[in-house]
Amino acid sequence: MKIDLGILGTTGNAEAWWERELPEFGRSATDQYSEIRDNSAVVGGALFALESFFRRVSFAARPAPQPDGPRGSWTDARARFWAGFLDQNVNDMSHTFPGLLAEILTMLPYGWSYFEVVYKYRRGLDQPDARYRSRYDDNRIGWRKISLRPQNTLSRWAFDGDGGIQGMWQSTSRGEVFIPIQRALHFRTTEAGNHPTGRSLLKNARRPYYYQKRLEEFEAIGVERNLTGIPHIRVPPELLSQSATDDQKKLLNFIVEQAKALRRDEAGIVVSPAETYIETVYDPVARTNKPVQLNTGYKFDLLGSPGSAVDVNPIITRYKRDVAVTLLASFLMLGIDGKGSLALSTDLTDLFELAGSGVLDGVSATFNRFAVSQLMRLNGVPPELWPTLEHGGLSDSTLKSLLSTLGALLTSGGITPDANLEKELRQKLGLPEKAEATPSPAASPAKPPADTAPPGPGQKPQASTRSQEGP
């Protein structure tokens, strides 16, 4: 597969776009989202809940349905054969599919995830070269691995003259590597505007997270100051004057280092001139009393916070709730302040699962359109036989509720079972479609389908089996 790099353009104003979207902290969007993901308990809990929900969802290949018009080479047997071939490839990669799904979900905090698809010839387990090693030895082309190209390795995007995304330039230890879109899978949370970075789920969480973080820092500083205090050392004024001698400077440095060791902090001390006071002393020469200004000398004490205590916990909780709302994960905050009910928790959890099902729909659509179709095309499969990889999407609790309600309706006669109801239930339960009652007349039991034969010795795939490894 060849691409003329001369026609490709780069984002040009990509840096300006980042600055315009995320001016805080003076850092890139990837760095900001990484900080929120790694440090926010609410965000971490929401993303973990989503990943756990996704890992419980089963994926299965669905055979190509019978065409409405001319069947072409479609038969029920052939459609099921290539669906089985897709299931084989899902389980024949060098990594697990749940692991791949977890990497796909990195698009949630960053807005996008980019993968390079690496192929192989399926020539058995005894092959020393990974480009040919497989559980199967039919010599077909299969997936070797689908490898994430981490978001923090993005150098720039490449576009064609019409604004279409042509690939990603990745920064590696060996320099920049170009990964064309034809050999990649590009997942995005949204395709609005066709921007390659999508829209991070954490974009609306940046502002409440920033204020939450600052308030937590102020709270910790205030509590620490009230509990331990700041070392305050008073020294004779001559030690702080510009005309201090070398011995006086050495003495002052010694005092400061001792205070730092006590405080275990680099700048958590205060050094000030000693307090002065007026004392009357007798002057024997003048034979009279005279006022003399003296200082208290060395003195050590601890400074506390002079302000009144402010309970910032309700404010921090409010910002945490704002972060949870942006992720549709408000149920994580129920009960923290003594409020919330089981019914409300159920409703919010169902909403969270509904949003997760929407994400899964997008993942499946992208995977089928660009990964499955390319795999079938490389193996010479006619389009009418292309299977799809579909997900279940219902949690156990929702599924039990559905079956209970449906059972009551069927028992009472409120609903009549028919072919449409059975088809819908099979889809929701992740069951295969109902087999035809009679074999298709187009099927030939005496002769196996021609498209089940492995490629001939002279046939060459159009996809590379080499991987551009990133860091």
Please write down the long-range contacts of 67-73, taking CB distance under 8 Å and 24 or more positions apart.
67/384, 71/384, 71/442, 72/382, 72/384, 73/382, 73/384, 73/385, 73/449, 73/451
Q: Which residues, other chains included, contact 51 with Cβ-Cβ below 8 Å and sequence gap of 6+?
A: 102, 105
Q: What's the sign of the alpha-carbon dihedral 22, 23, 29, 35?
A: negative
pLDDT attached to residue 305? 55
Q: What is the mean pLDDT of residues 98-126?
A: 93
pLDDT, one tens digit per residue, over 350-399 is: 555 666 677 888 899 999 999 999 999 999 999 999 999 998 755 555 55
pLDDT attached to residue 262? 62
Beta carbons of 58 and 113 less than 8 angstroms apart:
no
Cα separation, 23 vs 294, whole angstroms: 54
pLDDT, one tens digit per residue, over 400-456 is: 555 566 566 666 665 667 777 677 666 665 567 776 655 544 444 444 444 444 444
Q: What is the mean pLDDT of the chain?
A: 75
- Parse the chain into domains and list their residue ranges: 5-202+332-392+430-452, 230-303
Does position 193 have pLDDT exceeding 60, yes or no? Answer: yes
Cα separation, 343 vs 193, whole angstroms: 39
Higher pLDDT, 10 or 419: 419
Kindly report whether the global pTM for this prediction surpasses the value 0.75.
Answer: no
Q: What is the mean pLDDT of residues 86-108?
A: 93
**What's the Cα-to-Cα distance from 448 to each of 75, 98, 149, 361, 453, rounded to whole Å?**
12, 34, 41, 35, 9
Higher pLDDT, 403 or 292: 292
pLDDT attached to residue 385? 95
Task: Name the token pair of 296.
Answer: 């208290």
Q: How confident is the model at residue 16 (pLDDT cuts 50, 70, 90)?
A: very low
Higher pLDDT, 291 or 12: 291
